[in-house]
Structure 1
Amino acid sequence: MNSSVEKCHMFHESAVDLLTSIDFCESTLKTSIFFVAFNPIFWNIISRLEYYTHFLTKLTRNPRTGCYVLAVTIFSLGLVRNYFFEQALYKQGVTGVLQNEVAKVLGVALIIIGQVLVLTSMYQLGIIGTYCGDYFGILMKERVSAFPFNICENPMYRGSTLSFLGISLLQGKSAGLLITFFVHMVYEIALKFEEPFTMKIYRNPKKD
């Protein structure tokens, strides 16, 4: 009985520590969460506009060039997001419950796994496949099934989420866990829009 009470008390203290170590009013935390949400919203809107209007193709006079322009834009926004994530962690306090070797080792492992998933995904898809080439009418000949796509769906999103989680654990910042939660939720919502639309593109390659 005492053991159960002690465990409950320890869990409560850990939860309190995770929450109280977050400065919810800090500006870079809010900015980081903003870019976490903004980036996928941006690339989904721009990609669909391209699919329906071909505005980037018309501006650049070539679908591949238009896709490269979008790729540079998305990549740059990713750097901005990562910058504010780093700044948010730097300005947040450490969380006592995360200050241990297990968290640090797990953090390093998750970063490695996450980056492997992201980089191998990009290798398999190429720039065009990674950055919405199908919205430009540049379709892949067949579904990619090689690693990492043979072990999980959407490995780039999963890898990115794991990297955020790993960095947060390595630095012992529960504010990072909060941002990671938003990363996960935003990606899950984005996939509900992206996957059906991508299937539509491949079922009917021509614009409706």
Structure 2
Amino acid sequence: MTCLVDFSRASLWISLASITFNPTFWNIAARREYHTHWISALFGGDRRKGCYAIATTIFSLGLIRDALFNAALAEQPTLALLEMPLVKLTAAALFASGMLFVLTSTYALGITGTFLGDYFGILMDERVTSFPFNVLDNPMYVGSTMSFIGASLWHAKPAGLLVSAYVWLVYSVALSYEGPFTTMIYSQRAQKENAKDSAKEINNNKKKKKL
């Protein structure tokens, strides 16, 4: 019986390494930016240019990750059971839905909202609740994972399904760090705004007493 996953292929391990590296990189880089503003400093303190720079980097790393994934799939065994028409339809639906979630979440958040703008001090005015955020809490990560699964089924590669499961595991770990940190950033803004409102109220009361 043919092995469903060929672990001897270097391309498989390189793909897994790329999948691990990307969220690790952007979390470390963004957190350092939040604490030290090192990326913004490279652009003369311009936070927006710094955010665009890391957005370009993350996007480029994503393209490399996808290319490495496809190269790994090409060297992996094919399972005839996954070549049935119904599986192909499921694969196409998963890939299309996944890309829809990724693209619409990017549109809803904008470049700075998508690519860690809050770590640069570029915060959104309010929480986005439109599609796809009214369907999923993390549509970009879910959509990306769905696209990996869809591609794996389309090419009838069991190894791809294994990699897809690893993609979701890596994203889940990343979310466990990103979620609380982002909440902390917005909580600090709320505290500062409340402090300003309190100060204004105190000043207004003083003015009224003088009158």
Query: Aligned partners of 1:117 and 1:108: how far apart in 2?
Result: 14
Q: How many percent of aligned residue pairs carry the same amino acid?
A: 49
Give the structure 1 partner of residue 22 of structure 2: 39
Unmatched 5+ stretches in structure 2:
191-211
Deviation per CA, 1:164-189: give whole Å up to 9, x if none. Answer: 00010011000100110110000011
Shift of 1:25: 1.1
Instruction: State the SS of the aligned residue for 2:189.
Output: coil
Q: Note if contact 1:137-1:205 (Cα within 8 Å) is conserved in structure 2.
A: no
TM-score when normalising by structure 1: 0.89
Using CA pairs under 8 Å that are at least 6 residues apart, name the structure with larger relative contact order, 1 or 2: 1
Task: Report the Cα distance in structure 2 between the residues aligned to 1:181 and 1:205, rounded to whole angstroms.
Answer: 36
Structure 1 CA distance for aligned equivalents of residues 92 and 136 of structure 2: 21
- State the alpha-carbon separation in 2 of the partners of residues 176 and 195 from structure 1: 27
Unaligned runs of 5+ in 1: 1-15
RMSD, aligned α-carbons? 1.2
Matched, 1:147 2:108: no
Tell me which residue corresponds to 1:83.
67
- Give the Cα separation in 1 of the matches to 2:153 and 2:102: 19
Report the Cα offset of residue 135 of structure 1.
0.1
- What letter is aligned with 2:5? I
Matched residue, 1:53: 36
Q: 1:105 offset after TM fit, Å?
A: 0.7
Larger Rg belongs to = 2
Q: Distance in 1 between matches of 2:4 and 2:140?
A: 30
Alignment of 1:85-104 (within 5 A): 85-104=69-88
User: 4+ residue runs of structure 1 moved beyond 2 angstroms?
Assistant: none
Match of 2:101 among 117, 122, 136: 117
CA contact (8 A) 1:54 1:136 kept: yes
Q: Structure 2 CA distance, aligned partners of 1:185 and 1:96? A: 27
Map 1:128-207 → 2, pairs under 5 A: 128-205=112-189
Match of residue 13 from structure 2:
30
Deviation (angstroms), 1:97: 2.5
Deviates more, 1:96-105 or 1:121-130: 96-105
Secondary structure of 1:205's counterpart equals helix
- Looking at structure 2, the residues matched to 40 and 56 of structure 1 have their Cα atoms a distance apart, in angstroms, of 17
Residues of 2 paired with 1:205 and 1:48: CA distance? 17
Which whole-Å CA distance do the structure 2 matches of 1:205 and 1:83 have between them? 39
